[in-house]
Structure 1
């Protein structure tokens, strides 16, 4: 793809600008139309190569950057700074601040992007940024006109967006009022406590209200707003909010429980000497416990098979602790048949010292199943079914701890599907997904239960071999490489993998090991691919 009006258009327009500049066409899926010489130096690509790429080729967000790009392209006038992670030709990633805005050139509406490398600056901001990113409250800032100037990930997610750039410069009224008209000025908005903060300079705290997501749906929040002062003047407002959805749901659940009393009701007595016995169960308990309707549930012989001995021991201990402390007992129990029960009981002390528990038992099997599914989703790659990067890093940390404490060796390998982009371009993205699944399945099929496989990112996989030395690992990995290359895809294509492998050294941190293994992977690819190289 050649640049507009020849290769030198940016040289002529921006020859004196020392910053990298990209010209992007939003109408062609973010294609990079042209780049100045400084951009070629920064990204490590030739200008011709840059003109063959799309913005999602260099942005770590991948194709998820496209909605944000189109949002920026819709802005009128000015270039507004956005922060992204950009990938260079050598595979390294730099933090950049992009000043982007629409321009008209050659009869087309394009996006002019001036790139500033702020990697060094980011380190100085990291503590505050991490604080904002990890707090479980939404935080956003607005200027005096009501335009959003910053927003943390919790707020971005709460408002229903994927990246902060989709919210920057939006009017806060969009999230304070239903069906807020675009472009409405602060003066045209009916009064809201947030706007009064900017006018009066007095904060508002812990007001319960509702906010609105990008799709117009509402959610309850507890909101605090404080003025942002600079040079004795108010320049904006910082807003923090806590999503009350779960809290309201819990309140509703408690109300439903009080009104409908679902599940089984029970009573138990805790005697001063420590003896504990069940004295009553409602008829619903038989169905809940999976016993005959006429069974005597107050008899120990009937209850014993319902739950393992350790489970009953935890229940008895919990009830005794709650009885002595005079507090509510609550516990989750796994019972026969793989079902789960939530128990909750209120203690009441009698004059003779006996504590009477009045409680309810609820079937939470479905909820536990959903929790397990969510846990599975949080730890596994949805496409291939293997572990995701986060779970794999936890496993490597555990292996490193075993090495340090007990001297147990472990192996780390990184694998990359060779020429995956070419495979995708030739056979299509569905075939590419099939290839990723095939590689994951082929590798998983030959591993031990103690080993761990994860999708590290894109077409790259990571493998942890525990209790293994390097010579043994090389044999295993060579066999895996051969097994993958022997597979044939339904599309008629075949894939191979390059592997870098290293054994953890005593006292070596995980990052150093990863760097060694990654270097070995690059060595394998440079040596012709479809091979194993050791660090």
Structure 2
């Protein structure tokens, strides 16, 4: 927009400029339309168009400034219509006819006008009717306000999208502008409800000029001194009088005349304070303990705070100061503390949450979790909680036991045994370490069950499992393979030695005396894994050897 344009935008300007609306008056008779336009506006810096509503909005003439603005020659402009340059197209014609019907005066209208190069500008048009040569024409003064509109839109978007309340006041304290966040914070629906309100309405509950101490409010001191006030913890009041906490910043608004007002921005702390209160309530209600630790740039780590619940959790005296290293050290093993320190340092460097499980010297399990916060001095502050997970660890152990062991006999189940065999096969493949696989079956187990009952059958299974487990090395494994079948894994063993071990196990099982008075024996098939042999092939060989033992009269060992 050209702020120096000399066109008079006030009502009545058109009639004055046109010599009371007659081309015959003022010495203009005989001049062509271009001459009239040049005579009337030769000193005007704004683009001017003369439009004929009666000829479908034809452009009668334009001044040189208009030709330069639109990028057309003057002759070319005379061949166009208003809808050729207006983004509304022919939809502009009803508005044009309405303006042409006005009697005296004119008012600004905003449009989008299209230039010769295809670009579009925001313009403000002062249009009004004049009479010339027996015709009623429209005289249009054009102001380019594209930059103004862009600035208005930017400022509007900026104010609407910031997450803080913003409002401006003049020196008297009257609100001059306010963004949507502030409107909502003060409990209103539209900015028009706040404009011209006095800021004291929102700063003080009763007294209009001072805070609770009787001193002028910081906002007013900014208007007086010109010194900005930043990050002030304060209280504001909504339209209904309810208070809400804020963090407030106030800065002076200046122009050539000095300080003309203050812009106030504030962040509503209501949700933050509620979260703090909730965090405090949660900390007090936690079944565990709260702690704080500092990690210094040099790598030094020290505990700075433990809540009172930590003493019970760690099994120390209630009045013990756990921030003292001599008190804290015995709570856990040296390796345990080393693991905790390593985890905290890694989390601090990476800026991620630390979490770790610890077993105390008293046999309790503790889960620690802490959020790191880096301070300006380079140190990392950990705020965390410690929870007693002893019962959970016990349950996990029980679940792991159930997942890996046969519930009746207590030895490994088939799935866990197959994992162990796969591990032994991998060692054989990589290191050449031999292993033996054996399958055994309780002889005539169905007949034993039918004779002595299922309870006696279960007892027989447990006796076999216990006998096998008691006589094997810790590196060996026994599992219930299914029904009355058991499987044995003998690691780091060759076949001749394994045959001796298995035959001793067979004889020991046969020597057991059952409470029911019955006797049990087992048949065994055994084989040594070969290099490059897959597990299924080995199982087939060993199973065949077991069937061979049964066919040969049972209660014997056969090798694959």
Query: Normalization by structure 1: what TM-score?
Result: 0.52
Aligned mate of 1:86, from 113, 121, 125:
113
Structure 1 residue 329: deviation in Å? 1.4
Quote the Cα distance in structure 2 between the aligned partners of 1:228 and 1:118: 24
Quick check: 148-157 or 295-304, which moved more? 148-157
Change in 2 beyond 3 A, CA 1:41/1:323: closer
Structure 1 residue 509: deviation in Å? 1.1
Structure 1 residue 78: deviation in Å? 93
Quick check: 450-459 or 166-175, which moved more? 166-175
Quote the Cα distance in structure 1 between the aligned partners of 2:317 and 2:143: 73
The residue that corresponds to 1:529 in the other structure is: 554
Quick check: 330-339 or 448-457, which moved more? 330-339
The 8 Å contact of residues 211 and 217 in structure 2, kept in 1 or not, is answered as: no
Pair 1:111-2:138 in alignment = yes
Quote the Cα distance in structure 2 between the aligned partners of 1:486 and 1:420: 16
Structure 1 residue 457: deviation in Å? 0.3
Quote the Cα distance in structure 2 between the aligned partners of 1:66 and 1:425: 107
- Secondary structure of the residue that 1:165 maps to in structure 2? helix
Gaps of 5+ in 1: none
Change in 2 beyond 3 A, CA 1:404/1:352: same
Quote the Cα distance in structure 1 between the aligned partners of 2:385 and 2:302: 16
Structure 1 residue 101: deviation in Å? 95
Quick check: 313-322 or 28-37, which moved more? 28-37
- Secondary structure of the residue that 1:386 maps to in structure 2? coil
Quote the Cα distance in structure 2 between the aligned partners of 1:498 and 1:109: 122
Change in 2 beyond 3 A, CA 1:504/1:430: same
Change in 2 beyond 3 A, CA 1:443/1:192: farther
The residue that corresponds to 2:76 in the other structure is: 49
CA displacement, residues 480-510 of structure 1 (integer Å, 9 cap, x when unaligned): 1111111121111111111000011111111
Quick check: 100-109 or 497-506, which moved more? 100-109
The 8 Å contact of residues 67 and 166 in structure 1, kept in 2 or not, is answered as: no
Structure 1 residue 65: deviation in Å? 84
Alignment of 1:166-181 (within 5 A): none
The 8 Å contact of residues 175 and 194 in structure 2, kept in 1 or not, is answered as: yes
Structure 1 residue 519: deviation in Å? 0.3
- Secondary structure of the residue that 2:451 maps to in structure 1? helix
Pair 1:24-2:51 in alignment = yes
Quote the Cα distance in structure 1 between the aligned partners of 2:449 and 2:62: 26
The 8 Å contact of residues 173 and 189 in structure 1, kept in 2 or not, is answered as: no
Change in 2 beyond 3 A, CA 1:499/1:353: same
Aligned mate of 1:271, from 293, 296, 301:
296
Which structure is larger by alpha-carbon Rg, 1 or 2? 2
Structure 1 residue 401: deviation in Å? 1.5
Structure 1 residue 9: deviation in Å? 123
Quote the Cα distance in structure 2 between the aligned partners of 1:92 and 1:461: 88
Quote the Cα distance in structure 2 between the aligned partners of 1:6 and 1:497: 126
Structure 1 residue 350: deviation in Å? 2.2
The 8 Å contact of residues 415 and 499 in structure 1, kept in 2 or not, is answered as: yes
The 8 Å contact of residues 295 and 302 in structure 2, kept in 1 or not, is answered as: yes
Query: Normalization by structure 2: what TM-score?
Result: 0.50
CA displacement, residues 251-298 of structure 1 (integer Å, 9 cap, x when unaligned): 999999667222111111112222211111112212211222232211
Gaps of 5+ in 2: 1-29
Quote the Cα distance in structure 2 between the aligned partners of 1:111 and 1:432: 113
The 8 Å contact of residues 71 and 166 in structure 1, kept in 2 or not, is answered as: no
Quick check: 323-332 or 492-501, which moved more? 323-332
The 8 Å contact of residues 434 and 529 in structure 2, kept in 1 or not, is answered as: yes
**What do you get for the CA RMSD once the two structures are aligned?**
30.5
Structure 1 residue 349: deviation in Å? 2.3
The 8 Å contact of residues 283 and 290 in structure 2, kept in 1 or not, is answered as: no
Quick check: 430-439 or 326-335, which moved more? 326-335
- Secondary structure of the residue that 1:186 maps to in structure 2? coil
Change in 2 beyond 3 A, CA 1:73/1:146: farther
Structure 1 residue 6: deviation in Å? 125
- Secondary structure of the residue that 1:8 maps to in structure 2? helix
Alignment of 1:255-266 (within 5 A): 260-266=285-291
Quote the Cα distance in structure 1 between the aligned partners of 2:479 and 2:334: 37
Quote the Cα distance in structure 2 between the aligned partners of 1:444 and 1:105: 120
- Secondary structure of the residue that 2:32 maps to in structure 1? coil
Quick check: 71-80 or 479-488, which moved more? 71-80
The 8 Å contact of residues 33 and 61 in structure 2, kept in 1 or not, is answered as: no
- Secondary structure of the residue that 1:369 maps to in structure 2? helix
Change in 2 beyond 3 A, CA 1:357/1:226: closer
Quote the Cα distance in structure 2 between the aligned partners of 1:367 and 1:229: 66
Change in 2 beyond 3 A, CA 1:442/1:345: same
The 8 Å contact of residues 18 and 38 in structure 1, kept in 2 or not, is answered as: yes
The 8 Å contact of residues 100 and 138 in structure 2, kept in 1 or not, is answered as: yes
Quote the Cα distance in structure 1 between the aligned partners of 2:74 and 2:456: 31
Quick check: 262-271 or 323-332, which moved more? 323-332
Change in 2 beyond 3 A, CA 1:203/1:348: closer
Change in 2 beyond 3 A, CA 1:408/1:37: farther
Quote the Cα distance in structure 1 between the aligned partners of 2:270 and 2:134: 49
Change in 2 beyond 3 A, CA 1:215/1:352: closer
Quote the Cα distance in structure 1 between the aligned partners of 2:172 and 2:61: 35
Change in 2 beyond 3 A, CA 1:46/1:204: same
Change in 2 beyond 3 A, CA 1:297/1:524: same
Quick check: 104-113 or 288-297, which moved more? 104-113
Change in 2 beyond 3 A, CA 1:417/1:296: same
